Amino acid sequence: MNPHTWFTFFAACWLIAISPGSGAVLSMSHGLSYGVKKTSATIAGLQIGLLLILFVAGAGVGSILLASETMFTVVKTVGALYLIYLGLSQWRAKVDTCALQRPEPTVRATPPSVRKRMLLGFMTNATNPKGIIFMVAVLPQFISADGPLLPQLMILAMTMCTVDLMVMHGYAFAASTMQGYFRDARAVKKQNRFFGGVLMAVGTALFFVKRGA
């Protein structure tokens, strides 16, 4: 891969990562609820999901998904239902009101386990049909037919995940700085319902994604 191609892909990765999506919403939601450190597990899961769809698209499986109406509908439905479930869970998340007993408390929702946070992140990206569509459309432009496929995919994967890690942690950090504004249970519940509502809206919107998008 020549430097010009890599730099173009690097720039594209920043635009892709910064654009709002379900991953960004999840990172901000967990950053605000649990803090940046605990959100790192969620973001790690997002990267594993991102790697999956990148290699699926790079291997040509993504093209098969786009060619099969049934397979694409299954992936789309699973992704949409999962985001709606995730949003509903966020909406109903419990609040740690015990923090109210401490001086200058910062109330936080009770965090899921590390494993569950990673799974939430993984499923959010891995079941996103828009991600598969995007990868199938974009990756071929940066892969040379004259070189071996695997090394090129590895370079693209490392570049994309590095950028996405930085951006998602940036979203989480920006959200975590707002924790001082949420010092009572009522405010935390409103925050949970806001992000839960956004996730459910994104999930509902996936039902309308078409293969030719």
Q: What sign for the dihedral angle of Cα 45, 177, 196, 206? A: negative
Mean pLDDT of all residues in 34-55: 90
Mean pLDDT of all residues in 65-89: 71
pLDDT at 203 over 50: yes
DSSP states of 10-59 as a string?
A: HHHHHHHHHS--HHHHHHHHHHHHH-HHHHHHHHHHHHHHHHHHHHHHHT
- Give yes or no for a contact between 129 and 206, defined as CB atoms under 8 angstroms apart: yes
Taking the C-alpha atoms of residue 125 and residue 131, their distance in angstroms, rounded to an integer, is 7
CA-CA distances (angstroms) from residue 96 to 105, 116, 179? 11, 18, 13
What local confidence, expressed as pLDDT, does residue 99 receive? 43
pLDDT at 151 over 90: no
Q: What angle do CA 151, 155, 160 make, to 5 degrees?
A: 145
Q: What would the pLDDT profile of 98-144 be if each residue is shown by its tens digit? A: 443 444 444 455 678 889 999 989 988 887 766 776 676 667 667 77
Q: What sign for the dihedral angle of Cα 63, 22, 156, 134? A: positive
Chain mean pLDDT for the chain: 76
Q: What would the pLDDT profile of 3-39 be if each residue is shown by its tens digit? A: 888 888 888 788 778 876 778 888 988 888 888 899 9
What local confidence, expressed as pLDDT, does residue 162 receive? 93
- Give yes or no for a contact between 47 and 161, defined as CB atoms under 8 angstroms apart: yes
Sorted by where each begins, the domain ranges of the chain are: 3-14+22-206
Mean pLDDT of all residues in 49-76: 72
Mean pLDDT of all residues in 168-196: 74
What local confidence, expressed as pLDDT, does residue 66 receive? 57
Q: What angle do CA 203, 154, 45 make, to 5 degrees?
A: 35
Q: The tokens 């999506």 sit on which residue?
A: 21
Taking the C-alpha atoms of residue 7 and residue 26, their distance in angstroms, rounded to an integer, is 28
What local confidence, expressed as pLDDT, does residue 39 receive? 92
pLDDT at 40 over 60: yes
What local confidence, expressed as pLDDT, does residue 109 receive? 59
pLDDT at 46 over 90: yes
What local confidence, expressed as pLDDT, does residue 63 receive? 58
What local confidence, expressed as pLDDT, does residue 213 receive? 46
Mean pLDDT of all residues in 134-161: 78
What local confidence, expressed as pLDDT, does residue 161 receive? 92
- Give yes or no for a contact between 110 and 93, defined as CB atoms under 8 angstroms apart: yes
CA 33 to chain centre: 16
- Bridge partners of 95, per DSSP, are 109
